[in-house]
Amino acid sequence: MMTKVDTAVLKQSLNPDSAVKKLNRSSSWPLLSPSSVSFSEAQAKMPSTGSTALQSLASGYSGAVNQLANDTKKMKIKDPVDRSSVSHTQNDRLTANHDPCPYRGLCNLGATCYLNATLQVLFMTQAFRERVLRRTPGDTSEKLETALKELFEELSDQDGGAQSVSTKGVIKALSIQRIYEQQDAVEYFLDILEKVGPDLAKVFSGTMRNNRKCSEDHESHDDSSFKSLQIALNSTDGPYRLEDGVQSYFESTALVGEDQMYCETCDEKRDTTWGCEIHEYPTILPLLLKRFVYDYWSCGFVKNDCPMDVPLHLSLGEQEYHLYAVINHRGSRYGGHYTADIRSFTDNKWYSFDDSHVTETDESKLERSREAYLLLYQKREYIHNFAFNLRFSCVEQRLVFKKSTNEHAIAYAIRCGQTF
pLDDT tens for each residue of 213-228 = 999 999 999 999 999 9
CA 189/CA 199 separation, integer angstroms: 16
Residue 283: pLDDT above 50?
yes
Q: How many helices (H) and strands (E) does the chain have?
A: 12, 18
Does residue 232 surpass a pLDDT of 80?
A: yes
Please tell me the predicted confidence (pLDDT) of residue 163: 81
Q: pLDDT band at residue 103, thresholds of 50, 70 and 90?
A: very high
Residue 263 or residue 2, greater confidence = 263
- Are 321 and 291 contacting, i.e. CB atoms less than 8 angstroms apart? no
Cβ burial, residue 130 (10 Å; 0-12/13-18/19+) = middle
Strands 335-343 and 319-332, bridge-based pairing: antiparallel
Average pLDDT over residues 101-120: 95
The full set of domain ranges for the chain reads 1-12+102-205+282-420, 39-74
The pLDDT score that the predictor gives to residue 400 is: 41
Mean pLDDT of 113-141: 89
User: Can you list the alpha helix ranges (DSSP code H) found in 333-379?
Assistant: none
Provide mean pLDDT across the span 139-168.
Answer: 84
| pLDDT at position 210 over 70 | yes
pLDDT (0 to 100) of residue 394:
44
Fold topology of 1-12+102-205+282-420: Cathepsin B; Chain A (3.90.70)
Instruction: Classify residue 128 by its DSSP letter.
Output: H
**Interacting residues of 419 by C-beta distance below 8 A, sequence separation 6+:** none
Q: What pLDDT shows up at residue 379?
A: 94
pLDDT of 76:
43
User: Average pLDDT in the 324-338 region?
Assistant: 92
- Residue range 373-393: average pLDDT? 69
Residue 132: per-residue pLDDT: 94
* pLDDT score recorded for residue 90: 40
Q: What is the mean pLDDT of the chain?
A: 76
Alpha carbon 396 to its chain's center: 29
Q: pLDDT confidence of 136, banded at 50, 70, 90?
A: confident
pLDDT of 398 above 50: no
Instruction: Give yes or no for residue 241 having a pLDDT over 60.
Output: yes
pLDDT of residue 292: 87
Which has the higher per-residue pLDDT, 34 or 374? 374
Determine the pLDDT at residue 117.
98
Residue 85: count of CB within 10 angstroms of its CB: 9
> Has residue 169 got a pLDDT over 90?
yes
Q: Does position 258 have pLDDT exceeding 60, yes or no?
A: yes
Does the pLDDT value for residue 198 go beyond 60? Answer: yes
